A and B are shown apart, each in its own frame.
Chain A
Amino acid sequence: MKKPASAVPAKKRSFMEFMKRREGQRGLVIVLFMAIPLLLLAVFTYIPFLKMVQFSFFDMKYIGDRTFVGLQNYIDVFKRDDIFGALFVSVYYMGGAVVQLALALFFASLMVFKVKGDAFFKGAMFFPYLICGIAVGFIFKFFYARGFVLDSLLQLLGMEMEDIPMWLQDQRINNISLAATSVWRYTGQNMILFLGAMMSVDSDLYEAASLDGANKWHQFRYIILPSIKSIVVLNLILSISGSLSAFEPPYVITNGTMGTGTYFVIMNRLAHENQKVGLACAMAIVLLAIIILCTVAQKLFFKYVFDDGTADESKAAVRRRKMEEKAAKKAAKSGAMAQSSVSGKGGQK
């Protein structure tokens, strides 16, 4: 209260005016501050989204006539071998995503105990995430090329050149090679996420547990795992949609040839090279539908199977706790509460 506030002459009318001005200002701030982001969101996300729905029913190019074809584009998505095959290619990337999450979880649980030089290990594993996708593509094009890095390494280990498969040409394994580049790129990032969640657990808990004679597995199972459940679930969801939308590895390394075309590589080709805009839009909608389905299914799955199964509390206790949390959240809609309830979870046990 340094300045004499304008409301000090507390006449009733001037106070009302003051309130009015506040209200007006409030509205102005809301409108002004939200105008640009909402405009951008509309123009670059929701209008394109609606147009995508509309275009998916037409046979059209970017410029020129369009003809209404009903559901034909959607039928094509499932009938054309190149598109439907691309969905199968995503399965490799999903497998990669599972491997990547498992590795990340494994290394994060190693790092949570005292490690000398942890900054180096963390940095080494995380850095690939920061390299741009095109550079990653080139690095691995070089890595897998016949007679280059990987082949030389295997020869050093005593393998014969004839026994080494063509990493990028052999249709049985080239998708695995490509999915492996994603694993290389994202494992460290996942690990950092998990590690962050694990570190938020009170370190006294580990000490107490090891004094009580709990071995590392028990510490992992009863202290670490419960603390990172939600972030693991979240990452599983993200990596499923991520693997459906894999684009850069095949695009740079093989250009989608030899059966490595992922959904987006095919879609990109159809939209921008063949100008089959309608079909590409139908593909995008189908993909989005799959992603939403996966998100919902995973959430439900973990809600009923995983979440309550590993907790030491009985289901009723879980329900009660959740009710309390909900009530607390409603009472004070602030993030500080959410955080304290997270750390509180660890403390209850």
Chain B
Amino acid sequence: MKSQIKIGSIFFSIFKYVMLIGAAVMSLLPVAVCVFTAFKSTEEYNTTSVLDVPKEFHFENFAVAFKQANMLQGFINTAIVLVVVLTCSVLISAMLAYVLNRFRFRGSGLIQNLFMFASLIPGIATQVTVYQIMFSLGLINHLYGYIIVLMGTDIISIYIFLQFFENLPVSLDESAIMDGCTYFGVFFKILFPLLKPAIVTSVVLKGVNVYNEYYMSNLYLQSKELRTISTALYAFTGPYGNQYNYICAGVLMTIVPIFILFLIFQRQIYGGMAAGAVKG
């Protein structure tokens, strides 16, 4: 009986690792081929099979892609958008979560439900009319317009903060108020510093979303010098048709920052995924 179980568990182990290695290969292969291709010279790209590892590493594709797609401008714009959006949306969401979690007042349930329902509406669907509103507010083709739209669609952060507040004891607030602290003081001096893990989570998640956002950027930032990194990348569709060594170089350049971020913040990202998914 016991040896039977043992043989079974050995088989299970083998099965497990074969499956996992297979999955890892499937996940990494498309990206890996892209890495190979990005480092090939045009000549090598034209003559060798795409699966071949480059003989020597060429960096000129990156230079060409970087210049042609104007990626520097894209990175700068994206960086500006990221800093402003993340700062504002952390503050806004934390404040909202504080009010919704700590105060019961008429309509607080309704407001929470309004945010819940908003998360059901797929973002792209409403853009038809948001575009019209943006147009009449004169927000199209301005970086600040794009920033404002991105702040408006921030339901994940609100959930993360709401959940975090639920685990912060109310006695913290009460004792601070006993000591003569105002509600503002309670929020900014006592609670906000304690929110740090939630802030990291929401910044990382929101940051990834903003960095990767394409649709609205394409819609609201039409002039060339306002392109963000994803719209800059999309510009490869036209001129480079089949020159995938340039395209792959461009793709890799957009992936690298995210990859570094991922290596540093792995734990927070995984944690944030779970927190964002369990919506109350």
When distances are taken between beta carbons in the complex, the residues of chain A under 8 Å from B151 are: 40
User: Among A91-99, A161-169, A283-291, A309-317, which stretch is in contact with chain B?
Assistant: A283-291
CB atoms of B179 and A5 under 8 A apart: yes
Besides A34-B111, A119-B266, A184-B27, 7 new A-B residue pairs in contact (Cβ under 8 A), listed by A number: A44-B133, A47-B129, A133-B230, A135-B255, A192-B270, A196-B270, A272-B219
| B254 engages A135 (CB within 8 Å) | yes
Q: Knowing A1-B179, A125-B27 touch, does A277 contact B128 (C-beta < 8 A)?
A: yes
Q: How far is the CB of A221 from chain B (nearest CB, A)?
A: 15
Within 8 A of B (CB), among A316-335: 334-335
Q: Which of A130-165 contact B (CB under 8 A)?
A: 130-135, 138-140, 142-143, 145, 148-149, 152-153, 156
Pair A291/B24 contact, Cβ less than 8 Å: no
Cβ–Cβ < 8 Å partners of B154 in chain A: 40
A37/B92 contact (C-beta < 8 A), A44-B149, A138-B233, A149-B50 known? yes
Task: Flag the segment in A73-81, A241-249, A297-305 that touches B.
Answer: A241-249
A134 touches B129 (CB 8 A): no
Query: What per-residue 1/0 map shows which CB atoms of B124-148 lie under 8 Å from chain A?
Result: 1111111111010000000000001
Contact A139–B30 (Cβ < 8 Å): yes
Which A-B residue pairs are the 3 nearest by beta carbons?
A335-B166, A44-B152, A132-B212
> Closest CB of chain B to A315's CB: distance in Å?
25
Contact B153 A45 (CB under 8 A): yes
Q: List A contacts of B273 (CB < 8 A).
A: 189, 192-193, 196
Taking a contact as CB atoms under 8 Å apart, the answer to whether B103 and A30 are in contact is yes
**A10 contacts across to B, CB distance below 8 A:** none
CB <8 Å contact, A334 and B122: no
Q: What residue in chain B is nearest A283 (Cβ atoms)?
A: B125
Bound-complex Cα distance A323 to B78 (A): 50
B234-261 at interface with A (beta carbon < 8 Å): 234, 236-237, 242, 244, 247-248, 250-251, 254-255, 258-259
- Alpha-carbon separation in the docked complex, A1 to B133 (Å): 52
User: Closest residue to B100 on the A side, CB-wise?
Assistant: A34
A175 to chain B, nearest CB (A): 19
A295 within 8 Å of B (CB atoms): yes
Query: On chain B, which size bracket covers the interface?
Result: 35 or more
Check if B131 sits within 8 Å of A62, measured CB to CB.
Answer: yes
Which B131-187 residues sit within 8 Å CB-CB of chain A?
131-133, 135, 148-149, 151-154, 158, 163, 166-167, 177-180, 182-184, 187
8 Å CB contact of B120 from A25, A140, A196, A291: A291
A6 interface contact, C-beta 8 A = yes
Contact B179 A123 (CB under 8 A): no
Contact code string B6-48 (vs A, CB < 8 Å = 1, else 0): 0010001000110110011011111101100100000000000
Asked if B152 contacts A142 (CB within 8 A), the reply is: no
Cα distance, A127 to B34, chains bound together (Å): 15
Cα separation A188 to B179 with both chains bound (whole Å):
48
User: B98 contacts A216, CB within 8 Å?
Assistant: no
Q: What is the CA–CA distance of A152 and B48 in the complex, to the nearest angstrom?
A: 11
Contacts of A271 in B (CB 8 A): 127-128, 131
Q: How distant is the Cα of A29 from the Cα of B274 in the complex, in angstroms?
A: 30
Are the CB atoms of B27 and A139 closer together than 8 Å?
A: no
CB distance from B187 to the nearest CB of A (A): 8
Q: Which residues of A contact B57 (CB under 8 A)?
A: none
Contacts of B8 in A (CB 8 A): 215
Partner of A336, one of B12, B96, B167, B237: B167
Docked CA distance A122–B266 (Å): 10
- Whether A280 sits at the interface, judged by CB under 8 Å, is yes
Contacts of A123 in B (CB 8 A): 262, 266
Residues of A in contact (CB 8 Å), total: 100
Q: Is the CB of A1 within 8 A of B166?
A: no
- In the complex, whether A250 has a CB less than 8 A from a CB of chain B is no
A349 CB-CB contact with B under 8 Å: no
Chain A residue contacts of B23, Cβ below 8 A: 103, 107, 121, 124-125
Taking CB atoms, residues of chain A closer than 8 Å to B105 are: 30
6 contacts across the A-B interface (CB closer than 8 A): A107-B20, A115-B16, A128-B31, A134-B234, A135-B233, A277-B128
- A125-B23, A127-B259, A234-B277 known; A55 vs B184 contact (CB < 8 Å): no
Assembly CA distance A44 to B152 (angstroms): 6
> B126 contacts A52, CB within 8 Å?
yes
Given A131-B255, A196-B273, decide whether A125 and B24 contact each other with a Cβ distance below 8 A: yes
By beta carbon, the residue of chain A nearest B132 is A62
**Which residue of chain A is the closest to B16 with respect to CB atoms?**
A110
Inter-chain contacts of B248 with A (CB < 8 A): 138-139, 142
Using CB atoms, name the residue of chain A closest to B95.
Answer: A33
Q: Does B214 contact A (CB under 8 A)?
A: yes
User: Which partner residue on chain B sits nearest A60 by CB separation?
Assistant: B132
Nearest Cβ in chain B — how far from A41, in angstroms?
6
Given A110-B20, A123-B266, A139-B34, verify A132-B214 contact (CB < 8 Å).
yes
- Residue in A closest to B8 when the chains form the complex, CB atoms: A215
Min Cβ gap A235→B in Å is 7
> Nearest Cβ in chain A — how far from B71, in angstroms?
12
Contact B179 A2 (CB under 8 A): yes
User: Nearest Cβ in chain A — how far from B168, in angstroms?
Assistant: 10
Q: Which of A224-257 contact B (CB under 8 A)?
A: 231, 234-235, 241, 244-245, 247-248, 252
C-alpha gap A38/B34 in the complex (Å): 44
Q: Contacts A44-B153, A121-B20, A252-B237: A292 and B12 contacting too (C-beta < 8 A)?
A: no
Does B93 sit within 8 A of A, measured CB to CB?
A: yes
Q: Which residue of A lies closest to B164 (CB)?
A: A335
User: Within 8 Å CB of B184, what residues of A?
Assistant: 25, 29
Q: Is the CB of A49 within 8 A of B270?
A: no
**Closest A residue, CB atoms, query B278:** A231
Known contacts A121-B20, A121-B24, A197-B274; decide if A132 and B211 are in contact (CB<8 Å).
yes
